[in-house]
Amino acid sequence: MQHTFPNPEIKMAKKSLESLVIASKAKGVLKKAGCNTAGDAFTALNEYMYWLLEQAAKRAKANGRKTVRRHDFMS
């Protein structure tokens, strides 16, 4: 399944994004589930994390807040 990111700037700048994912920890979770990881898996996961954070920030601002709360990730 491939995610389409609404913000093309995130996808274009993917090589310059600072990593938000601790690959060794994520790999451990996947290994416990009986899965291997491809070389590009964590790049995609990192891009998705940036997208989730961007969406949560937009939702908080739309609700007149500067603080991102748990439910901003659930919408």
Rounded-to-integer distance, Cα 43 and Cα 41, Å: 6
Query: Would you place residue 12 in the very low, low, confident or very high pLDDT band (cuts 50, 70, 90)?
Result: very low
Q: Print the SS3 string covering 39-52.
A: CCHHHHHHHHHHHH
Residue 14 confidence (pLDDT) above 70: no
The model carries a pTM of: 0.75
Q: Quote the mean pLDDT of the chain.
A: 86
pLDDT score recorded for residue 7: 56
42-66 burial by CB neighbour count: b if 16+ within 10 A, else e? bbebbbeebbeeebbeebbeeeeee
Q: Higher pLDDT residue, 14 or 63?
A: 63
pLDDT, one tens digit per residue, over 40-75 is 999 999 999 999 999 999 999 999 999 999 999 986
Q: Domain-by-domain residue ranges, the chain?
A: 39-75
